[in-house]
Amino acid sequence: MTAISIGAARFGQMRHALGPAAIFAGLLALVALAVPEFLGGGGPSIIAQQATPILLVALGQCVVLQIGSIDLSNAATGLFCAILSALTLGPLGVASPLLCLAVVTLIGVGNGLVLVYTQIPSFALTLGTLGVMQAASLVVTGSNVVYVMDNMDVVAWLFAVQVWTLPVAFYIAVLLAVALWAFLRFTASGQGLSAIGYNERAAALSGQPVRALKVLAFGLSGFFAGLAGLCVISISGAASSIGLGSDLLVPSIAAALVGGTAITGGLCNPVNVVFGAMFVALIPVGSAAVGVDPQAQSIVYGGVLVVAVAATMSRSRNAIVK
């Protein structure tokens, strides 16, 4: 191996490790230069609040992407968790979040079980689950907004309490990202998930419990989506099938990709996904702050995302991008 190829490989590793943080810092700097009062006028708090549910859904998504699959239903599952929370917080109190998290985690596990025993492609399977969850949300709410009538304090503290102007829910999400990173890097199960993403057949031949690990990945996707649903309730105190949280799917996938997660599987750094989520949350907030016309913000959003993914994604996996 020549010195040039070694240098190129090291540059690629550094770009993948530091790229998401650098991309976010660069965009934040541009917004701060254009609107100097942004940083001191509550801008970071707004970014953190909007980034938190995106981050949580993206963490679940990156685990599924890690095994070479995708979960198109986890955002809808998170919204269903928010609706269940709105309905049950009053009568159940502190037991409500635990019950709702258990339900949506089981939905994720169900996705995994169907996947491994029927061999339905994850795209098709979770697209179907997405439709089921959307229909279930409509039926449960009667197409209306469901308000939390009592015991709102059980979840309100997640965003009501702030540390250094940022909501405590954001810090919890970051800690969960670090914990997920440690799980993927230092445990046998985490390394098994990576092995499946790189080469599922080789992972099976090496003795990895491929089916169980796939079910685990989808269960984690459901669990993190449920946490995002609790954040939705904490922010708004209400939930509906078309309200806050109904548009988390695309931003969460974008956050995972900007965070360097390989859509081909085998490569995921949850800590970088934190910066991916903040970057995705910053685009619309920053666009509005600098005065971009609302009708043009979608164009800016899409264009900036394409550039960010191109700058942060890894192309080292057999030099193939699917």
Structural tokens at position 71 = 């979960």
Mean pLDDT of 263-276: 89
Query: In the prediction, which pLDDT does 316 show?
Result: 54
pLDDT at 196: 93
Tell me the pLDDT tens digit for each residue of 156-174. 999 999 998 899 999 999 9
Per DSSP, helices labelled H in the chain are 3-34, 43-66, 74-92, 95-118, 122-141, 153-160, 168-186, 188-198, 200-205, 210-236, 249-258, 270-289, 297-312
Question: What CATH number is given to the structural domain containing 305?
Answer: 1.10.3470
Residue 39: inside a domain: no
Q: Which domain holds residue 136?
A: 52-312
pLDDT at position 18: 73
What long-range pairs does 164-169 form, CB within 8 A, spacing at least 24? Answer: 165/42, 165/44, 165/45, 166/44, 166/45, 166/48, 167/45, 167/48, 167/49, 167/52, 169/52, 169/231, 169/234
Strands 162-163 and 166-167: antiparallel
Within-domain flag for 286: yes
Residue 13: pLDDT band (50, 70, 90) is low
Asked if the model's pLDDT at residue 315 lies above 60, the reply is no
Residue 71 pLDDT > 70? yes
Which residues are CB-neighbours of 146 under 8 A, at least 6 positions away?
83, 86, 87, 140, 238, 239, 240
- Evaluate whether residue 146 is within a structural domain: yes
Give how many domains the chain has, as a whole number: 1
Is 2 within the bounds of a domain?
no
What pLDDT, on a 0 to 100 scale, did the predictor assign at position 319? 42
Record the pTM.
Answer: 0.91
* Residue 35 forms part of a structural domain: no
How much is the average pLDDT of 277-283?
A: 90
**From the CB of residue 237, how many other CB atoms can be counted at a distance below 10 Å?**
15
9, pLDDT greater than 70: no
In the chain, the largest separation of any two C-alpha atoms, in whole Å, equals: 67
**pLDDT above 80 (res 8):** no
Q: Does residue 13 sit within a domain?
A: no
Residue 238 dihedral angles phi and psi, to the nearest 5°? -160, 165
Helix or strand or coil: residue 147?
Answer: strand
CB 117 within 8 A of CB 210: no
Which of 148-152, 176-180, 240-244 is least confident? 240-244
**pLDDT at residue 16 is higher than 60:** no
End-to-end CA distance of the chain: 27
Over the range 40-72, which residues count as b (16 or more CB within 10 Å of their CB) and which as e? eeebbbebbbbbbbbbbbbbbbbbbbbbbbbbb
Q: Quick check: is 234 in a domain?
A: yes
Beta-carbon contacts of 261 under 8 Å, excluding residues fewer than 6 positions away, are 61, 62, 65, 66, 267, 268, 269, 273
- What is the pLDDT, as a whole number, of residue 170? 97
SS3 49: helix
Contact 61, 74 (CB under 8 A): yes
Q: Examine residue 15 and state whether it is found in any structural domain, yes or no.
A: no
Instruction: Tell me if 147 sits within 8 A of 237, measured CB to CB.
Output: yes
- pLDDT at residue 6, as a whole number: 46
